[in-house]
Chain A
Amino acid sequence: MAKKQKSIREIFTNGLFKQNPTFVQFLGMCPTLAVTKSVESALGMGAGVIFVLVMSNLAVSLVRNYVPREVRIPIYIVIIASLVTILEMLMRAFAPDIALLLGTFLSLIAVNCIILGRAEAFASKNGPIKSMADGLGMAIGFTGGITLIATFREIFGAGTFLGMQIIPDTYQISILIQSAGAFLVFGILVSQINKIRMNRADRNEVA
């Protein structure tokens, strides 16, 4: 591990690309597949994860020096679950349509491995500003990842983008917006991103 202090910027972009939770770390896969039926629900889930992850990283970072090691995980869980509960209520009050769209997956943010993972791996060892930057980067990386999948699924599966019709009914591949299609689109996207990453790595070696 490099001991060199990373800048806020590096921390932020780390989650966006190099350690992208969706395509590189494969964290939080349940929502990755479940809420990518439409771009709208992917963005809604993304917003929820941004809120919870930033806030939980902040909270965990703030209490990191006062929490006994033995009970740190239960405490993180309490913090995260409370934040999710708050998120649930806020969403149901101010964005009820999206709350309905996300359904149980809104509550399941509480067990999204990204959140607990970042709390444990980063926020418990870093200060509040860096932790928030890490949370924001990871959450935006996650949002970007699921929005990309949702874009493919919605456009080719339902012929729409954010509800606007762009492909006529006849040319849709409706399996893509069914559950099964999520696996297909995600699998293809991962394989293509792997290809790009591997090509890049190969080139580096040659150079």
Chain B
Amino acid sequence: MKHLKIVLALTLVVLVASLAVFFVEGITTPIIDDYNFEQANAAKFTVLPTLTSSDDITPTTNYDFTDTSITELIIVEGKGYIYTAQFQGYQSQITYMVGLDLEGNITGYKTLLQGDTPGLGAEIANPDFYPQFVGMSTDTAASGDFDGLSGASVTTGGFKSSLAKVMGFHKVQFEGAVVETEAQKLARWKQEITVSDATFTDVSGDYTLPSFITAMEFANDGSTDVAVIYQVAFDGRNDLIEYWISFDLVTNEVLGFRVLAQAETPGYGAKIEEEARWEQFVGLGLDDALSSNFDGIAGATETTDPWKASIEDIASFHQATFVGFEGGESDADKTLRLIGEIYPTANTFTDVTRKYAANHDVRRVFEVYNGSEFLGVAYFVEAVGASYSEPTVNQFVIGIDMNRDFVGFRMFYLGDTSGITDAYLDPAFGASFTGQSIDSVYTVDSYAGATFTGAAFKTAIDTVVAFHNDNGIGRPDLIDTTSGNILAAFPGATSYRSVYLDVPYSGVIYNLYEVLNGSSEVIGYVYYAHADGNASVDIQFTYGVNLAGVTQQIVILNNTETWADAEEYGNYDGSVGIWPNTTWLNQFEGVSIPSLIATPVDAVAGVTNTTFGMLDAIGVIAEYHIDNSIGGAE
């Protein structure tokens, strides 16, 4: 009974309530619908004031609105056009309506819906925002040349881009304007930044491109290649920025610049896309490009900085690839002449720079032949000099022959302080190391009063040698020693295999072996190396290191050194034994490589040539071992 009452009461109340609701609904719905209709259309009267209630305002279905942001278009016969469009604001989808008269001038604007941040993006619905559009031409509206919303860059950016698309659509459909496709635009750009009617050949595959260059094309004017276009990418503030830059292949000036893709912050980094900003690149000299001497974007350093660095990179690449020299003289000829002086018997010079990764210092690489005989290589080097007042650059040509000796040096351009550093222009400077092996501890002269310049040259020459070795240029064939010599350096090892070709070449090291125990596990490494001793014949030795970096045995393989002198010095207490069985060598064994570097073994008076020679060579091995992380060494 109780339950029945509950159910009854509930049912009754719900029934009565429903009846009341449906009754009111029946009365109000038509009124609400009318109101909504008026409201919806009120905006249309606002944006196209000439509209009257008798006009047909049925939306047209005759157009494709893909990628125009337009959601509806009403063509009012004899009066104008009403567009409704939608775009993504910062927080919300924003819908707006814009009217155009038959002449293509805006008759009114109204934001219909938005849900953006009050005071910022939401200001797009502030009626104060609307009047500026009245009377505006489609071109002005499309260019975004009107007041945005302060502090709401994302919403403003979205709005301007949407409005531009609507105006673009209108111009194409109703003003006969031709809007080019993306592909057409790119094709036009290519012509604009090279020469008109040029034909283009993708040469990306013909060059070793650094990672920042995504493509490279030559522009041909019908007879010759006149310009090169690089497609370059770099990390902007928000995302990758991609651009084209073109260089004249004769003058090496920049011909033009175009941004292909960017996602920088509107109002800041996105200004990189402004065409006015691209104009400054037309005719920009290579030097200016190298020093990024152009205007960045004020207030957008996080975009400007990587942009400038990118332009510098591409300019250096261009210089390294197509110029390599300063000045207009016959620099190329001068280079070849200097190489000719270094290799007097040469008659063929082949520029092989493209075979190698771009390098800021080593700008050009030439292979030098006498007929078919390969004599060696010559490098054109541009290196930072030393000056107290300004950054300077020195350029020189240096040759390394097939015996891995320096065969000559010619100063191409000395940029360091004239008067003080003139001594380096003297052929005696180059002679100071010509003939030395790049594998030896070669010395480069340095002159009093200009030691920094000397040090800069030494560094530059070291760089050349490193480049030479790293690229395996003229790397000699593997030199092997006997199985006994190898295994003697590593007690416990039963077999070995050479791994030297997997790692960089070092002049001190003839070969490097992995040694294995009876169960074929790698237990360590044996270096086969040589040191300058006192005798005319190099000291050759094998040197074992286990996986923990601890020196095993040093086995001297030849015995032309004299050791007796050491015995005359009483202060040497480790001179037991005669070379090569001296206990001096025992000081290395069982010691780890980092300890050997930190606290080197002392040389021995009276036999300094021998001991210093060994120390130098072992030092090279120790650093080599760590630098190349042999067996995981750190």
A–B contact at 8 Å CB threshold (below): yes
What mask results when residues 7 to 28 of chain B are scored 1 for a CB within 8 Å of chain A, else 0?
A: 0011001100110110011011
B420 at the A interface (CB under 8 A): no
Tell whether, in the assembled complex, residue A82 and residue B35 are in contact, meaning their CB atoms are under 8 Å apart.
no
Interface set, chain A 174-188, CB cutoff 8 A to B: 178
Task: Give B34's nearest chain A residue, CB to CB.
Answer: A93
Q: By the criterion CB–CB under 8 Å, are A78 and B14 in contact?
A: yes
Residue in contact with A85 in the complex, picked from B10, B21, B118, CB distance below 8 Å: B21
Q: Which residues of A contact B18 (CB under 8 A)?
A: 82
Does A171 count as interface, using CB distance less than 8 angstroms? Answer: no
Contact partner, B31, options A68, A75, A79, A93, Cβ 8 Å: A93
Q: For B5, what are the chain A residues with a Cβ–Cβ distance below 8 Å? A: 68
Inter-chain contacts of A70 with B (CB < 8 A):
6
Q: Does B2 have its Cβ within 8 Å of any Cβ on chain A?
A: yes
Confirm or deny: A67 has a beta carbon within 8 angstroms of a beta carbon on chain B: yes
A79 to B16 Cα, complex, angstroms: 9
- CB pair A86–B9 under 8 Å, yes or no, is no
Chain A interfacial residues counted at CB < 8 A = 21
Closest A residue to B17 by CB, please name it.
A82
Q: Are A82 and B20 closer than 8 Å at their CB atoms?
A: yes
Q: How many residues of B contact A (CB 8 A)?
A: 21
A143 to chain B, nearest CB (A): 23
Q: Does A96 contact B (CB under 8 A)?
A: yes
Say yes or no for B32: interface residue by CB 8 A criterion: yes
CB pair A68 B21 closer than 8 Å: no
| Contact indicator A90/B13 (Cβ below 8 Å) | no
Interface pair A90/B28, CB less than 8 Å apart: yes
Q: Is the CB of B6 within 8 A of A92?
A: no
Instruction: Give chain A residues whose Cβ lies under 8 Å from the Cβ of B28.
Output: 89-90, 92-94
**Interface residue from A66, A86, A92 paired with B35 (Cβ < 8 Å):** A92
- Interchain CB contact (< 8 A) of B21 among A86, A94, A96: A86
Docked-complex contact B32 and A89, CB < 8 angstroms: yes
Task: Find residues 326-357 in chain B having any chain A CB closer than 8 Å to their own CB.
Answer: none
A90 to B17, CA, bound (A): 15
| Alpha-carbon separation in the docked complex, A109 to B521 (Å) | 82
> Least Cβ distance of B43 to chain A in Å?
14
Question: Smallest CB-CB separation from A66: which chain B residue?
Answer: B9
Chain A residues, Cβ within 8 Å of B20: 82, 86
Docked complex Cα distance between A82 and B28 (Å): 15
Cα(A123)–Cα(B228), bound, Å: 89
Nearest-neighbor residue (CB-CB) of A80 within chain B:
B17
Nearest chain A CB to B151 CB, angstrom units: 16
Across-interface contacts of A66 in B (CB, < 8 A):
9
Interface string of B475-519 (1 = CB under 8 A from A): 000000000000000000000000000000000000000000000
A68 touches B6 (CB 8 A): yes
Taking CB atoms, residues of chain B closer than 8 Å to A102 are none
Digitize A67-78: 1 where CB-to-B-CB distance is under 8 Å, 0 elsewhere.
110110011001
Q: Whole-angstrom distance between the alpha carbons of A63 and B39 in the complex?
A: 41
Q: Is the CB of A93 within 8 A of B35?
A: yes
User: Do B17 and A78 touch across chains, with their CB atoms under 8 A apart?
Assistant: yes
Q: Do B13 and A79 touch (CB < 8 A)?
A: yes
- A74, A86, A92, A178: the one contacting B10 at CB < 8 Å is A74
Assess the B35–A75 pair: CB atoms within 8 A.
no
Query: Chain B nearest CB: distance from A85 CB in Å?
Result: 5
Which chain B residue shows the least CB distance to A81?
Answer: B17
List the B residue with the shortest CB-CB distance to A85. B21
Q: Tell me whether A94 and B13 are in contact in the complex, defined as CB-CB below 8 angstroms, given that A85-B21, A86-B24, A89-B24 are known contacts.
A: no
Residue pairs across A and B with Cβ atoms less than 8 A apart, 23 shown, are A67-B9, A70-B6, A71-B6, A71-B10, A78-B10, A78-B13, A78-B14, A78-B17, A79-B13, A79-B17, A81-B17, A82-B17, A82-B18, A82-B20, A86-B20, A86-B24, A89-B28, A89-B29, A89-B32, A92-B28, A92-B35, A93-B35, A94-B28
- Using A82-B20, A96-B32 as known contacts, list a sample of 8 further A-B pairs with CB atoms less than 8 Å apart, ordered by residue number in A: A67-B13, A75-B10, A79-B13, A79-B17, A85-B21, A89-B29, A90-B28, A94-B31
Chain B residues within CB distance 8 Å of chain A: 2, 5-6, 9-10, 13-14, 17-18, 20-21, 24-25, 27-29, 31-32, 35, 39, 118
Q: Which 5 A-B pairs have the closest CB atoms?
A: A82-B17, A93-B28, A93-B31, A89-B28, A86-B24
